[in-house]
């Protein structure tokens, strides 16, 4: 059979709207959010779990490698085809049904192709939201397969914690549908199989439907920017804030001076919140929130926050050098501009790392000390989710530096940073971006042999066909797709 | 080799304290918390992960079936040997090391043999606790293998949510140690294998060490007993309380009239909190708490609660018939006495069910309607965790009723209740007690064939040896142990 035969067969299964083959139609699906430009043999766009099953079954039987693609907002080359032109993209974008809200259960059953912003728009009138707060606007299936966390992890946890059920299509000859779509909050009647499909980049199956936990929308919010007396004090300050604020604490984000400066330089609408135009070496965005309305006689939340910060300020340890209560939208505008600012300030080499909470600042110190001798001229523009140990560790090479376009330089820089993270600090080289092609070599290098064996054998008992951009093991058939 | 030879060989591996073989020494390990009386060939008591590996390896190589036993407080016959006298108990009780507290990370690395009460006693001076609140006092390993929830699930979640890492010994010939004991809160660098060992009754490996999330101890608590205007209003009342109280809501427990009456009858120190000695058909224990100390000028928590309940009382829907703010220890004393009261009021046939939250009251209604004709004279004494859909659905047969001692009667009653739960209400037949021998038949009956296949194949790639009281699949060798 020729490529044209396969495309015709898939079109017969999925209809005209369900199969794109023209180069112009394919280009959006071949292009990644940050790094990638691949080439797809076709783009399949099934509109139901049954259709996903049909297309997966067809491709497994015919040795065609499928790359599931959700919102295509990921940063690790997980959702785009490689350059061979032999892989098919399996887009989830038409899987927007069902939308079954169970208000009393605070849960919703949705198609994996629903956009996060669309989901939250639909939930707003019910006073509910899916509490994963991201800069990007992914679709739900991709959020599950990367297990994203976001800025409010500290309060609400990650996608795993907020997933009650899944429906998954396995890459076997039958395109087996695993129905794990229970809405129960408690259920210990066997293996919780859905966990294996969360955070594994679609290697073990295609997530087609999700049952999600919802949370009441915050109805009171207050934010401040804090300057620790010394960046070393950040872990102690975090504990003091947790002690004083309890479960009201909904975000604590770290911002390096370089990242703040890049944002102020490149996003003109921003205002510098610090005194006299200075930028402290490290600052924190603090958010507290409550889902209940204020009670009679209760002081407004920002007054409460001011009082708490005052008592920490006056505390024995002098943890705070400065604190400015600011309007939430202004404070978050600065935080959200960091990414764009950093991207615009040179050639960006980005890492998404995680550590035990006390180790974040130690790692940053270590890097500031050793970067100038190891990789002179490389600027550290970190920011991230300090409350849960996450760091978007961004390195910027000046654009006029010849190393900015040198892949060997990037490789050796990446290898060194990841090695310090994993070996010296027992950290994670992918906090919330999962694996993708981008992190495959690190997975192969740092994952103990016994876990790689399990990963490969689990692949063979779930999805022996060619699926996704990650290899947890050698699939049954490593033959290149025949397109 | 004879049984004596094996016992000598194991004693050589584990030392005198590590191996018990005398009948008198074995009896505590052969007797379950509620139902069981089995017979063990020996009790192995390894004191480290390495020793667990050695004993598991020996037993796998010699075809000896091991039953891991943690605190032995479970209710589903998961931790005791059967009656054949051929199984060995693998007790975790000496696995009390390490105890590594990482205060800044709010986590602790502990041996799986540590008692919950000992753990929390050690954590108290640091203002922290492991937030799983149970009537029993299990050891941590057993909590992991049953994925318990408890009374504060609504606020803190289950053991799964609070487990950061595990160390596990597989039942293969090498006694392979899987080190999954990371303390990271975010890590998406592959499969999160620890999830498979949570809630699976030790079938896939022996949990020997755990890294746990800790929470700040509550420093303000207020409790009340609520009487809904109509039991049907409970889901609506739950939403109103969540809306008004947000993350301060830490428990909402349901109590049937029969359960309350049984507690008042059998625990003389209790006081009836309701008016004029009446007992409402259904009442609720509400707890709110904050981990922060009161701020200057802030009203005490019970005043705040009174105000919130007042506004719900005055609301349009008239959801509340009565509400009494009570001292936490008195209110919880009633709740904690329910189990003992019910046990003392006749022959107890207990279920641990879960539903979507709105379905709990519908299920109870259904049962009240149909029990009298199906199983006349059987009393429904339910109570449980209404905030997360859990119900301890307890049935009591009068002791002088001949059916009280009839196993056929119990079997048909159990089959009917579970069938209504699973088939008619899409509920769970084990909310937080896991499987054990007690629920094996229900697992076999209600688990889809495809998931049973996965369960069996995963067993063969992790722990092909004979381990635990649950069968997720046919082990490689079903030959009876040779002792």
Mean pLDDT of chain A: 94
* B307: chain A residues, CB-CB within 8 Å: 295-296
Is B189 in the A-facing interface, judged by CB distances under 8 Å?
yes
Out of A138-142, B66-70, B128-132, B268-272, least confident range: B268-272
CA distance A281 to A273: 14
Instruction: Say yes or no to pLDDT of B356 above 50.
Output: yes
pLDDT at B474: 56
Question: Is B150 found in the same domain as B70?
Answer: no
**Chain B nearest CA to A22, separation (Å):** 35
Calculate mean pLDDT across residues A357-380: 97
pLDDT confidence tier of residue B294, bands split at 50, 70 and 90:
confident
Nearest CA in chain A to B293: A244
> Is there a single domain that holds both residue A286 and residue A324?
yes
- Report whether pLDDT(A482) > 80: no
User: Does the CB of B398 have a partner CB in chain A at under 8 Å?
Assistant: no
Of A40, A66, A94, the domain-final residue = A94
A319 and A241, same domain (yes or no)? yes
**CA B57 centroid distance within chain:** 29
Of the candidates B326, B237, B324, B228, the one whose C-alpha atom is nearest the C-alpha of residue B280 is: B228
Q: Give the CATH number of the domain where residue B200 resides.
A: 3.30.465.10
Say yes or no: A303 and A387 in one domain.
no
With respect to residue B29, please indicate whether it lies within any of the assigned structural domains.
yes
Same domain, yes or no: B313 and B247: yes
Name the residue with tokens 């050891």: B139
Write out the two tokens for A82: 């490689």
Nearest CA in chain B to A391: B186
Q: Are residues A299 and A406 in the same domain?
A: no
* Residue B100 contacts residue A356 (beta carbons within 8 Å): no
B216/A179 Cβ within 8 A = no
Residue A156 has pLDDT above 60, yes or no: yes
Whether A297 and A363 share a structural domain: no
Residue B318 pLDDT level (bands cut at 50, 70, 90): confident
A395 belongs to a structural domain:
yes
Peptide bond into A98 cis (omega under 30): yes
Classify the phi-psi angles of B326: left when phi > 0, otherwise alpha if psi is within -120 to 50, otherwise beta.
beta
Closest listed residue to residue B404, CA positions, set B350, B351, B347: B347
- Of A338, A306, A313, residue with least CA distance to A228: A313
The proportion of chain A whose per-residue pLDDT surpasses 90, expressed as a percent, equals 89
| Average pLDDT of the segment spanning A361-381 | 97
Q: Is residue B475 domain-resident?
A: no
H/E stretch holding B195 reads helix B194-197
> Which region, left, alpha or beta, applies to residue B476 given φ > 0 means left and ψ of -120 to 50 means alpha?
alpha
Mean pLDDT, to the nearest integer, of B343-359?
Answer: 96
Peptide bond into B293 cis (omega under 30): no
Interface confidence: ipTM more than 0.90: yes
More confident residue, A12 or A314: A12
Is A43 inside any structural domain? Answer: yes
8-state DSSP, B421: I
Residue-wise pLDDT for A163-174, tens only, equals 999 999 999 999
B61 part of a folded domain = yes
d(CA B49, CA A449): 19
Q: Which of A189, A194, A236 to mutate to test the interface with B (most CBs of B within 10 A)?
A: A189
CB contact under 8 A, B187 and A243: no
How does residue A474 score in pLDDT terms, banded at 50, 70 and 90? low
Residues in chain A with CB shorter than 8 Å from the CB of B293 are 244
Q: What is the pLDDT of residue A93?
A: 97
Which of A211-225, A426-440, A461-475, B11-25 is predicted with the least confidence, judged by mean pLDDT?
Answer: A461-475
Question: B202 touching A, CB under 8 A?
Answer: no
Looking at residue A40, its pLDDT comes to 97
How far apart CA B205 and CA B468 sit, in angstroms, is 9
Same domain, A212 and A235: no
* Interface mutation target, options A132, A156, A179, A190, chain B, most CBs of B under 10 Å: A190
Residues A444, A449, A451, A453, CA torsion sign? positive
In this structure, the answer to whether residues A162 and A253 fall within a common structural domain is no
B180 has pLDDT over 70: yes
**Residue B68 sits in a domain of what CATH number?**
3.30.43.10
Calpha distance B68→A464 (Å, rounded): 33
Q: Is residue A296 assigned to a domain?
A: yes
- Could you list the residue range(s) of the whole structural domain that residue A335 is in? 220-339
A354 and A260 in one domain?
no
Q: Is the pLDDT of residue B317 over 90?
A: no
If you measure CA to CA, which chain A residue comes closest to B150? Answer: A186
Task: Among A289-298, A439-448, B449-458, name the one with the lowest average pLDDT.
Answer: A289-298
Task: Specify the pairing of strand B66-69 against strand B249-256.
Answer: unpaired
pLDDT at A197 over 70: yes
Burial A322-345 (b: 16+ CB within 10 A, else e): bbeebebeebbbbbebbbebbbeb
Quote the pLDDT of residue B34. 78
Q: Is residue A432 part of a domain?
A: no
Strand B249-256 to B282-290 pairing:
antiparallel
Alpha helices in B246-318 (DSSP H): 257-266, 301-314
Q: Which of A94, A116, A145 is the last residue of a domain?
A: A94
pLDDT at A297: 75
Q: Which residue of A has its CA nearest to B425?
A: A184
Q: What is the pLDDT of residue A374?
A: 97
Q: In this predicted structure, what is the pLDDT of residue B387?
A: 93
DSSP A31: B
Examine the domain organization and report whether A192 and A156 are in the same domain. Answer: yes
Q: Is residue A171 included in any domain, yes or no?
A: yes
Do residues B195 and A192 touch, judged by C-beta distance below 8 A? yes
The CATH number for B350's domain is 3.30.70.2740
The nearest CA of chain A is from the CA of B402 a distance in Å of 32
Write the DSSP string, A159-213.
Answer: TTTTEEEEEEE-SSTT-PEEEE----S---SS--THHHHSSSTTSS-EEEEEEEE
Residue A293: per-residue pLDDT: 84
How many domains does chain B contain in total? 4
Q: What are phi and psi of A430, to 5 degrees?
A: -150, 95
pLDDT at A475 over 60: no
| Residues A299/A346, Cβ–Cβ less than 8 Å | no
Q: Check CB contact under 8 Å for B435 and A190.
A: yes
Residues A282, A310 share a domain = yes
Q: Which of A191, A252, A449, A470 to mutate to test the interface with B (most CBs of B within 10 A)?
A: A191
Size of interface A-B (CB pairs under 8 A): 254
Give A114-147 as a DSSP string: -BHHHHHHHHHTTTEE-----SS--BHHHHHHHT
B436 close to A (CB below 8 A): no
Extract the tokens encoding B142: 């057993």
Is A230 at the interface with chain B, CB within 8 A? no
Contact with chain A for residue B197, Cβ under 8 A:
no
User: Is A308 close to B295, i.e. CB distance below 8 A?
Assistant: yes
Provide CB contacts within 8 A for B258, sequence distance 6+.
Answer: B379, B380, B381, B382, B396
SS3 B275: helix
Subunit contact B185:A388, Cβ cutoff 8 A:
yes
Q: CB distance from A292 to chain B under 8 Å?
A: yes
For chain B, say whether A50 makes contact (Cβ under 8 Å): no
Domain boundary among B62, B94, B126: B94
Q: Is the pLDDT of residue A480 over 60?
A: no
Percent of chain B with pLDDT strictly greater than 70: 98
pLDDT digits (tens, 9 = 90+) for B133-173: 998 999 999 999 999 998 999 999 999 999 999 999 999 99
User: For residue B33, what pLDDT band results from cuts at 50, 70 and 90?
Assistant: confident
What pLDDT was estimated at residue A479? 40
pLDDT-derived band at A477, boundaries 50, 70, 90: very low
């Amino acid at each position: 059979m020729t490529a044209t035969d396969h495309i015709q067969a898939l079109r017969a299964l999925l209809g005209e709207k369900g199969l794109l083959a023209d180069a112009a139609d394919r280009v959006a699906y071949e292009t990644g959010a940050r790094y990638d430009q691949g080439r797809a043999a076709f783009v399949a766009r099934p509109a139901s779990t049954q259709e996903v099953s049909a297309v997966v079954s067809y491709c497994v039987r015919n040795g065609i490698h499928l790359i599931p693609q959700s919102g295509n907002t990921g940063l690790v080359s997980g959702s785009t085809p490689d350059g061979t032109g032999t892989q098919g993209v399996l887009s989830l974008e038409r899987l927007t049904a069902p939308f079954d809200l169970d208000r009393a259960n605070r849960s919703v059953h949705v198609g994996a192709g629903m956009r996060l912003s669309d989901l939250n728009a639909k939930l707003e009138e019910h006073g509910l939201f899916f509490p994963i707060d991201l800069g990007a606007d992914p679709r739900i299936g991709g959020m599950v397969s990367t297990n994203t966390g976001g800025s409010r992890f500290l309060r609400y946890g990650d996608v795993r914690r907020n997933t009650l059920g899944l429906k998954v299509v396995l890459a076997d000859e039958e395109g087996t549908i695993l129905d794990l779509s229970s809405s129960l909050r408690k259920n210990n009647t066997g293996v919780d199989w859905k966990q294996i499909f969360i955070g594994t980049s679609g290697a073990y199956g295609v997530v087609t439907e999700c049952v999600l936990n919802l949370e009441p929308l915050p109805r009171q919010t207050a934010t401040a920017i804090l300057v620790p007396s010394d960046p070393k004090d950040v872990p102690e300050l975090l504990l003091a804030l947790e002690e004083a604020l309890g479960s009201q604490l909904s975000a604590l984000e770290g911002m390096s001076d370089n990242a703040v400066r890049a944002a102020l330089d490149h996003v003109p609408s921003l205002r510098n919140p610090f005194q006299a135009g200075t930028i402290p070496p490290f600052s924190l965005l603090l958010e507290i929130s409550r889902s209940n309305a204020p009670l009679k006689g209760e002081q407004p939340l920002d007054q409460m926050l001011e009082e708490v910060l005052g008592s920490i300020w006056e505390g024995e340890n002098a943890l705070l050098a400065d604190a400015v209560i600011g309007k939430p939208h202004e404070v978050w505008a600065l935080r959200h501009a960091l990414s764009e600012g950093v991207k615009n300030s040179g050639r960006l080499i980005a890492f998404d790392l995680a550590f035990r909470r006390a180790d974040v600042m130690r790692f940053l110190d270590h890097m500031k000390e050793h970067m100038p001798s190891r990789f002179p001229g490389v600027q550290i523009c970190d920011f991230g989710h300090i409350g849960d140990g996450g760091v978007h560790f961004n390195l910027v090479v000046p654009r006029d530096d010849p190393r900015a376009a040198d892949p060997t330089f990037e490789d050796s820089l990446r290898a060194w940073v990841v090695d310090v993270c994993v070996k010296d600090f027992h950290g994670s080289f992918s906090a919330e971006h999962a694996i993708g092609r981008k992190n495959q070599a690190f997975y192969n290098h740092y994952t103990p042999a016994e876990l790689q064996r399990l990963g490969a054998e689990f692949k063979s008992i779930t999805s022996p066909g060619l699926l996704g951009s990650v290899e947890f093991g050698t699939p049954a058939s490593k033959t290149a797709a025949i397109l």
